[in-house]
């Protein structure tokens, strides 16, 4: 049964290729969803996939790409199913 993961990452996560890093990692893991920059300097991500794969993706998010500094990760597991065609960068 697939699940949905919603994450907001704070720290030095804009201007360091964070969204493109997540795009590559999500596609490699077969995850669908999206990621985007928020006005407050954080990055928001919604991902849909197998729970064990989403847990791996969450680990990747917590580590971040070279040059980033993840200070906090807010995680929610929303109820319901959100189908996405692919993983994309929004905004």
Q: 20-50 pLDDT, tens per residue? A: 999 999 999 999 999 999 999 999 999 999 9
Residue 40 has a pLDDT of: 98
pLDDT category at 54 given cuts 50, 70, 90 is very high
Q: Go through the domains of the chain in sequence order and give each one's CATH number.
A: 3-80 (3.30.70.100)
State the catalytic residue, choosing from 19, 27, 32, 56. 19
Q: How confident is the model at residue 80 (pLDDT cuts 50, 70, 90)?
A: confident
Which of 37, 56, 62, 90 is labelled catalytic?
37
Q: Record the pTM.
A: 0.94
Q: Say how far apart CA 50 and CA 39 lie, in whole Å.
A: 30
pLDDT the model gives residue 46: 96
Beta strands in the chain (DSSP E): 3-12, 32-37, 43-49, 69-76, 87-89
* pLDDT (0 to 100) of residue 73: 98
pLDDT of residue 1: 86
**Known catalytic residue at 37:** yes
């Amino acid at each position: 049964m697939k699940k949905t993961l919603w994450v907001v990452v704070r720290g030095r996560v804009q201007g360091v290729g964070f969204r493109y890093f997540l795009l590559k990692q999500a596609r490699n893991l077969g995850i669908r969803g999206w990621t985007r920059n928020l006005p407050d300097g954080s990055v928001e991500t919604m991902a849909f996939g197998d729970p064990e794969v989403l847990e791996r993706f969450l680990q990747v998010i917590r580590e971040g790409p070279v040059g980033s500094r993840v200070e906090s990760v807010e995680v929610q597991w929303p109820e319901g199913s959100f189908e996405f065609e692919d993983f994309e960068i929004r905004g």
